[in-house]
Structure 1
Amino acid sequence: MLLHDRIAALHELGRWVESHPDVLEIAVLKSMKDNPWFTRQNIELSLCAIAEKYLEKDKLLEWTKTYDFEDLSALNIGVIAAGNIPLVGIHDLICVFVSGASAKVKLSAKDAHLIPAFIEQLIHIFPQAAAQLHIVDKITGVEAVIATGSDNTSRYFKSYFGHLPNIIRKNRNSVAILTGSETVDDMIGLAKDIFSYFGLGCRNVSMLHVPEGYDFTPLIEVFKSEYPLINDHPKYRNNYEYNLACSMLNNDQLIVSEPVLLYKRLSLLSRIATLHYWPYKDLNEVKNWLDSNRNSIQCVVGAAGARAVWHDMVEPGQAQQPALSDYADGVDTLAFINNLNQPV
C-alpha cells in the first residue's frame, strides 16, 4: 500500500466524519453513556477538529512531504491511548498508519467506542488497512511503543516497555500570558482554551500569567457569557463545590467566580473547575519561568502583545486546534516511527 493510497483513505475518512453517519452517532451515544465527561458538545468539538486539521488531503500531503519513508510494513508499534478527552489517541494512530507500520492499539476504558468506529470505517474505505490496525487487550509482540498517560502511569510504562524504543508521555499543562491589552475576541478565545473538554486536556490552559494589578472582571464576565451552563454539569459542579469548600476551610487566597475558581498559585497543575494565576512585573520574568518549566508545558497561549515571550505562541482559541505537525510534548512521532527502520 503506497503513501498516496493511505492519504487518500484518511481524506475519505475525514469526509465520513463530517457526514456524521448513524454508525458514528452510535459510537457518540455509547461514549456519552459510559463517560459523563464526554458530552456531545465536547465529542463534536473533537470530531470537527480532527476532520479539519488531520483528515484533509492537502494538509496530509504537506505534513508528509518532508519525510523519506522507509518500508515499515513488518514493524509493529504498540499504541496506548489516553482517555482524558475524546479521541485523544487518534493522532498517534494516524502517524502509525501513514508510516506504513502496523498499530496494536490498547484503548482507554474511558474512550472505548470512538477510535474503534474510526478504525472500522478506515478498513471499510481501504480493506488493506485491516493488516495495519488492531485493537488489543494487551501490548505484546511489538518493536516500539507510544504511550500516553500521567506521571504515575508513565513509571509503569517505562518499567514494562523501557527496553524498547518508545515515546512515553507524562502530565503536561498549558499556560496563557495576558498583558491587559487583550480584545474581547482574545478573551473569548482564551475561555475556549480553558473550558473546552472541562479543562481535562493537556492543551487546556490551567494557569495565567497576568500583569500586577490585573483586573479580572472583564475576563470573568466573558467566562460567564461564553460558558453559562458548564456548572450545570454534575461532575464539574461537584468539583467546583468541593474545591470551594476546601478553600474556605483552609482560608486559601482565591477569587470566587463562576464558572471557575481562581487561585494565586505559581503552579501549572490546577484541579478541575479551578484556574491558577500569577502576577508579573515584566515579561522577562514570564520568559524565564517558561524556560525553566518547558518540560511540563504543552503549549503557551498569548495574543499579539505577548508574542515575543515564547517561540511558538498559540493564538487564543487555537489551543485545542493542533495541526498534524503539532506533536505532543514536541516529539516528532512520525520521525520516531520512520527512524525505527534505520540501522543502529
Structure 2
Amino acid sequence: MLQFDKKSALVQLGHFLHQFGATTPTKNPAVLHNELFFDRMIGQIESAQHYNGWFTPEQMRYALQSWAQALTENNLTTWLQPYDFSTTQPKTVGLVLAGNIPLVGFHDVLSVLVSGHKALVKTSSNDQIMVPFLVDYLIACEPRIADYITFTEGKLEGFEAVIATGSNNTARYFEYYFKDKPSIIRKNRNSVAVLDGTETKEDLMQLGEDIFRYFGLGCRNVSKLFVPEGYSFDPFFAAMYTYKDCIQYDKYANNYDYNKAVFLMSLFSILDNGFLTLKEDSGYASPISSIFYEYYSDLSVVQERLEREKDQLQCIVSKGIVTDSIPFGKTQRPELWDYADHVDTLAFLQTI
C-alpha cells in the first residue's frame, strides 16, 4: 500500500472527528461515510461511561477533538517527513495498549500502520471500544488497511516486535516475556509544573487544565508542583475553582474522600479546597484528587534534579523558566511527534 493512501484515510478520519467536539455534534455532509458512522459515534460517546466510569462524554469529546486537530494534512506531513518506509518489509508488531485515558493507545496503532508494518492489537479492558471503532472508519476509507491490523483478546502470539505500555510492575513482566523481541516497554511517568510566583490567573487556570483533564489519570497530567519558598497558594486555589465541578463525578469524589481521609488519619498536613488536596511531598506520583508540592530556593537546583530524574517524567510545565518545558494548558494536546516516554516510535519501527 502506498504511503499517501494511508495518509489520506487519516486526514478523512480527522474530518470525521471534527464533528464531535461540541456537546451537540454537527453533521458535515461533506464527510465521508457519515451515513455509516455518524450516529454510531454518538452512541459510542454516550455509552463510553458505562464501560469505564472515568470516560465521561465531556472527556470523550475532548479526546476526539484533540485527535481531530492532530490528523491534518500538514501535521501528518510534518510527522512522517523524517522517515522513509518505502522499502519496509512488513513485520507483525504486537501492541499492548494502555487504557487510563480515552484513546491513549491510538498513537501506537497509527504509528504501526503508517510504517507499513502490521499491528496485532490487544486493547486495554478499560478502553476496548473506541480504538476498534476508529479503525473500522479507516478501513471504510481505505479497505486495504484491514490487511494491516488485527485485534485479539487473548495472548499475543506470532509477533516479531512489540510495543507495550503498563505500570512499573507490569513493565518488569513485559521485559521478561518480550526479552527476545525488539521492543519498546513503557513504564509509569508523571508530569510536573515549576512555578515562580509571577504566574497570572490565566496561567494558573491553564495549569488547572493540565491537572484536571481526564481527572488527572494520564501520565501527561501534572501531579507535582515546584514552588518558591514562601509561595502563597491563594492565587492557585482561586484559579482551580474553575474546575470545581469535577467533584460532581462519583468516581472522582470517592477518590477525593478516600485520599483525604488517608492523609488526615496519617496526620499529614494538607491544604484543601473541597475538591483538591495539596500535600508537601518529594515524590512525583500523587493520588487522584491530590497534588504534591515541594518548595525550592534555587531554580537551578530544580533544573538539575529534573534532568537527573527525567526517566520518571513525561512533561515539565512552566512559563519558560525551565529548559524543555511546555506552556501551561498544553499537556493533553500533544503533537503527533510528541512521543510517549520520549522514545521515537517511528524510528524504532524503521529499524525492526
Q: TM-score with structure 1 length normalisation?
A: 0.95
C-alpha distance in 2 between matches for 1:64 and 1:214: 44
Alignment map for 1:138-287 (pairs within 5 Å) = 138-224=155-241, 226-287=242-303
Distance across 2 between alignment mates of 1:88 and 1:221: 31
Task: Return structure 1 stretches of 4+ with deviation > 4 angstroms.
Answer: none
Where 1:24 maps in the other structure, the secondary structure is: helix
Identity score, percent:
41
Q: Hey, what does 1:338 align to over in structure 2? A: 350
One-letter identity of the residue aligned with 1:300: I
What is the SS of the residue equivalent to 1:267?
A: coil
Q: Give structure 1 stretches of 5+ with no counterpart.
A: none
Bigger shift: residues 323-332 or 132-141: 132-141
- The structural deviation recorded for 1:30 is 2.8
Where does 1:94-105 land on structure 2 (aligned, <5 Å)? 94-105=110-121
Alignment length (residue pairs): 334
Equivalent position of 1:13 in the other structure: 13
TM-aligned CA deviation for residue 260 of structure 1:
0.8
Indicate conservation of the 8 Å contact 1:23/1:117, yes or no.
no
Q: In the alignment, which of 93, 98, 113 is matched to residue 82 of structure 1?
A: 98
Q: How far apart, in 2, do the equivalents of 1:127 and 1:147 lie?
A: 27
In the alignment, the residues of structure 2 paired with residue 70 and residue 268 of structure 1 have an alpha-carbon distance, to the nearest angstrom, of 42
**Conserved 8 A contact 1:212-1:280:** yes
| Maintained 8 Å contact 1:76/1:102 | yes
Asked if the contact 1:84/1:110 (under 8 Å) is kept, the reply is yes
8 A Cα contact 2:192 2:317, kept in partner: yes
Give the match for residue 2 of structure 2. 2
Contact map agreement 1:31 1:112 (CA 8 A) in 2: no
Higher mean C-alpha displacement, 140-149 vs 65-74: 65-74
Matches within 5 A, 1:26-105: 26-53=43-70, 55-105=71-121
**Letter aligned with residue 5 of structure 2:** D
Unaligned runs of 5+ in 2: 21-37
The residue aligned with 2:28 is: none
For 1:150 and 1:246, locate their aligned partners in 2 and report how far apart those are by CA, in whole Å: 23
Structure 1 letter corresponding to 2:103: L
SS in 1 for 2:244: coil
- Quote how far apart the aligned CAs of 1:4 are: 1.2
- What displacement does 1:73 show? 4.8
Please, which of 87, 91, 107 is the counterpart of residue 123 of structure 2? Answer: 107
- The CA distance in 2 between the partners of 1:255 and 1:175, in whole Å, is 18
TM-score norm. by structure 2 comes to 0.93
Indicate the RMSD between aligned Cα atoms, in angstroms. Answer: 1.1
5 Å-filtered alignment, 1:263-342, equals 263-304=279-320, 306=321, 309-310=322-323, 312-340=324-352
